[in-house]
């Protein structure tokens, strides 16, 4: 169980929340980890804060992009400096439960999967307001309407991530679809993806976030899902579900917000 874990984290203008995020890693019960952070051209004090932690902890490496390049390029830059057996994702505004790494390394050691995610407590400035948990064993058809993972909960075998060439950098992944594209490549390779049936992080998300997705994003999302159906050879009779983002645009935002909150609130959760 002494596998090394490389945590990759792109950081951008998150000076208010970064310290707590890093400290949640430093407090982990599992100690064989390294944190590779890359500042993606922040214009606030994000880099300064990250630098302070890197200077005080030899397990933390800090990189910097001279200008904003987007999450896909930033994570690939982090990946070039990783030395771990596993690659773990985390974001600069999220918080790990203190035994997250230990639990996921244990899970990977006894399950025949190539990547594993888990659930998340949803929180904002007012505290925890819900919980999200995805299917334990998501098959490729999950890509028609959703995604197999909550991206910052994932741990992956390092060699598997390299095998698919890391994160793709194209017009679609630049619109915050870099994780969707990665899981598509994993499924194309026949990799096994699973989820632990418990929360692993506090995932920062306000209750209005789902309603703020633009029409352009919904259209792009539909194109990407239809392309995934084609690449994964999803039966035609099921592909009509890929038009879900277009149908969502027809729902009043207030109704959409209430449904989003209700869905998350149905899970049991606790207050931080």
Q: How far apart are alpha carbons 270 and 192 in whole angstroms? A: 31
Q: Is the pLDDT of residue 257 over 80?
A: no
Each residue's pLDDT tens digit, 38-65: 999 999 999 999 999 999 999 999 999 9
Per DSSP, which regions of the chain are E strands? 5-11, 33-40, 60-65, 86-89, 95-96, 115-124, 127-132, 155-157, 193-204
Q: How far apart are alpha carbons 12 and 28 in whole angstroms? A: 23
In a domain, 272, yes or no: no
Each residue's pLDDT tens digit, 72-121: 999 999 999 999 999 999 999 999 999 999 999 999 999 999 999 999 99
Residue 54 neighbours by CB under 8 Å, 6+ apart: 37, 60, 61, 62
Q: C-alpha 181: how far from its chain's center?
A: 12
Q: How far apart are alpha carbons 121 and 272 in whole angstroms? A: 9
CATH number of the domain where residue 226 is located: 3.90.550.10
Q: Is 94 exposed, middle or buried (0-12, 13-18, 19+ CB in 10 A)?
A: buried
Residue reference for tokens 């019960």:
29
Q: Count how many residues are written for the chain.
A: 272
H or E stretch covering 74 = helix 71-79
In a domain, 98, yes or no: yes
Domain count, the chain: 1
For residues 150-177, give the mean pLDDT: 94
Residue 119 tokens read as 């659930």
Q: Is the pLDDT of residue 261 over 70?
A: no
Closest CA to 111 of 137, 141, 87, 148: 137
- Asked whether the CA dihedral 176, 177, 180, 184 is positive or negative, the reply is negative
For residue 10, the SS3 value is strand
Q: How far apart are alpha carbons 147 and 154 in whole angstroms? A: 12
In a domain, 222, yes or no: yes
Q: Which domain holds residue 139?
A: 5-265
In a domain, 49, yes or no: yes
Residue 180 neighbours by CB under 8 Å, 6+ apart: 143, 147, 224, 228
Q: How far apart are alpha carbons 34 and 32 in whole angstroms? A: 7
- On whether the pTM is more than 0.75, the answer is yes
Q: Is the pLDDT of residue 165 over 80?
A: yes
**Arithmetic mean of pLDDT over the chain:** 91
Q: Is the pLDDT of residue 230 over 70?
A: yes
- What pLDDT was estimated at residue 176? 83
- Asked whether the CA dihedral 232, 234, 238, 243 is positive or negative, the reply is positive
In a domain, 270, yes or no: no
In a domain, 219, yes or no: yes
In a domain, 271, yes or no: no
Question: Do 68 and 41 touch, CB atoms closer than 8 A?
Answer: yes
Query: 64: left (phi > 0), else alpha (psi -120 to 50), else beta?
Result: beta
């Amino acid at each position: 169980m002494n596998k090394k874990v490389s945590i990759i984290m792109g950081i951008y203008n998150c000076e208010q929340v970064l310290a707590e995020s890093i400290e949640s890693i430093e407090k982990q019960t599992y100690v064989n980890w390294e944190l590779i952070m890359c500042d993606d051209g922040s214009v606030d004090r994000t880099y300064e804060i990250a630098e302070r932690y890197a200077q005080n902890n030899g397990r933390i490496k800090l990189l910097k992009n001279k200008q904003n390049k987007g999450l896909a390029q930033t994570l690939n830059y982090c990946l070039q400096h990783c030395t771990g057996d596993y690659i773990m994702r985390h974001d600069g505004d999220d918080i790990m439960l203190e035994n997250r790494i230990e639990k996921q390394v244990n899970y990977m050691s006894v399950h025949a999967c190539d990547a594993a995610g888990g659930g998340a407590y949803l929180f904002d400035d007012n505290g925890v307001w819900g919980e999200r948990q995805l299917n334990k064993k998501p098959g490729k058809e999950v890509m028609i309407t959703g995604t197999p993972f909550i991206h910052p909960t994932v741990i992956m075998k390092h060699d598997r991530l390299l095998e698919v060439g890391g994160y793709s950098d194209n017009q679609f992944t630049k619109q915050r679809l870099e994780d969707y594209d990665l899981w598509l490549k994993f499924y194309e390779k026949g990799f096994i993806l699973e989820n632990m049936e418990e929360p692993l992080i506090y995932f920062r998300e306000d209750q209005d976030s789902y309603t703020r997705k633009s029409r352009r994003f919904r259209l792009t999302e539909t194109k990407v899902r239809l392309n995934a159906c084609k690449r994964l050879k999803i039966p035609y009779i099921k592909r009509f579900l890929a038009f879900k983002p277009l149908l969502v645009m027809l729902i009043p935002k207030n109704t959409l917000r209430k449904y989003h909150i209700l869905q998350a609130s149905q899970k049991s959760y606790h207050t931080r």
